[in-house]
Amino acid sequence: MKKRGRGMACMWYPIGFTVAANPSAATVKVNTDGTATLLTGTVETGQGALTVLGQIAAETLGIATDDVHVVSADTDATPMDTGAIASRTTYVTGNAIIKAAEQAREILFEAAAPMLSVKPEQLEARDRKIQVMGFPQQYKTIGEVAHHSEIVIGRPAIGSGSYNPPTVEMDPETGQGKPFSTYVYATQIADVEVDDETGEVEVLRIVATHDCGTPINPMLVEGQIQGGISMGVGFALQEEILFKDGKQVNPNLTNYIMPTSLDMPELEVEMVDNYDPTGPFGAKGAGEPTAVPTAAAIMNAIYDAVGIRITSLPATSEKVLSAILEQKAA
């Protein structure tokens, strides 16, 4: 018979390396038509890093996402970056990009100030314009200013910056210290059905609410959460590298069982409204934490459905059935 159950799990997860320095550097070049090029040493691994980093550069310069071309991942051309790891790209590389773009923007402000008969500190960059704060009717387009700065004044608008999350070494005895700059938080709730005669677990639905600070690109954050959950479902129920005499027995996708489209539940994904003052425009990160609470939520749902506590992953149908039978025997 199929039995329904629900279970929740929450988690916390840090951004960046544990204590160790993990800097990023970036260079932003504004073209004379007001578009820009961002140079970053990070690598796009599918998460949408280059899109998000482009958006951060665009935001700082007051231009649109499409105005920024991102050049990445060439040690001959791009600045150093610790890389696509530890959910650090939006936060660490993003902060470096803001510094670089601000430096370029400052050059634009200094060029625009006399053009607009104000001081540089009175200016802001918005909607592809350099405009006077509190009196936006008075503006020059970024293209005009960038052209003027580079071609007339002879000062190209280019900036470089770097960022490393501030941490404090952990005490070797007590572990006390500040290993990370910031953390994100999340909850997932799973709705499952357990067949108590075969042990088969079907995950019907997962609700996920994740804090990532400001979502720079909500569509990409949703994608991270959905993908992380699929990894969590595999971790919970099916995936395991098995060994015999020290050799893997299932090193292929026939017998290493990861979720297919038919194995994924309905997903309902939301972001928790939050703002981290240390992050770029309040952002933290979203990559890894999405895969963290899924298995725990599913295990708690299995408990709710059939009253068994799975203490070792994955909860294969065989393991679940044998726990059910043990419980009946007891």
Element (H, E) at 160: strand 158-163
Q: How far is the CB of 30 from other proteins (least distance, A)?
A: 15
Q: How is residue 259 written in tokens?
A: 């979720």
Which single residue is written with the structure tokens 């799990």? 9
Q: How far is the CB of 158 from other proteins (least distance, A)?
A: 20
Element (H, E) at 206: strand 201-210
Is 110 assigned a catalytic role? no
Which residue in the set 91, 100, 293, 323 belongs to the binding site for other proteins (CB under 8 A)? 293
Strands 129-132 and 123-126: antiparallel
Within 52-71, the residues that bind other proteins by CB under 8 A are 54-56, 58-59, 62-66, 68, 70
Which residue in the set 121, 133, 248, 327 belongs to the binding site for other proteins (CB under 8 A)? 248
Which residue in the set 29, 147, 148, 210 belongs to the binding site for other proteins (CB under 8 A)? 210
The Cα–Cα gap between 104 and 158 comes to 5
Pick the stretch among 10-18, 108-116, 131-139, 143-151 that binds other proteins (CB under 8 A): 10-18
Site for other proteins (CB under 8 A): how many residues? 159
Q: Which is nearer to other proteins, 144 or 288 (CB)?
A: 288
**Intra-chain end-to-end CA distance of the chain, in Å:** 20
Q: How far is the CB of 123 from other proteins (least distance, A)?
A: 16
Bridge partners of residue 213, in order along the sequence = 283
The Cα–Cα gap between 325 and 321 comes to 6
C-alpha dihedral sign at 317, 319, 324, 328: positive
Q: How is residue 90 written in tokens?
A: 């939006």
Counting contacts by CB under 8 A, is residue 306 touching other proteins?
A: no
Pick the stretch among 110-118, 130-138, 148-156, 269-277 that binds other proteins (CB under 8 A): 269-277
Q: Which is nearer to other proteins, 30 or 186 (CB)?
A: 186
Q: How is residue 284 written in tokens?
A: 């933290």
Within 110-149, the residues that bind other proteins by CB under 8 A are 126-128
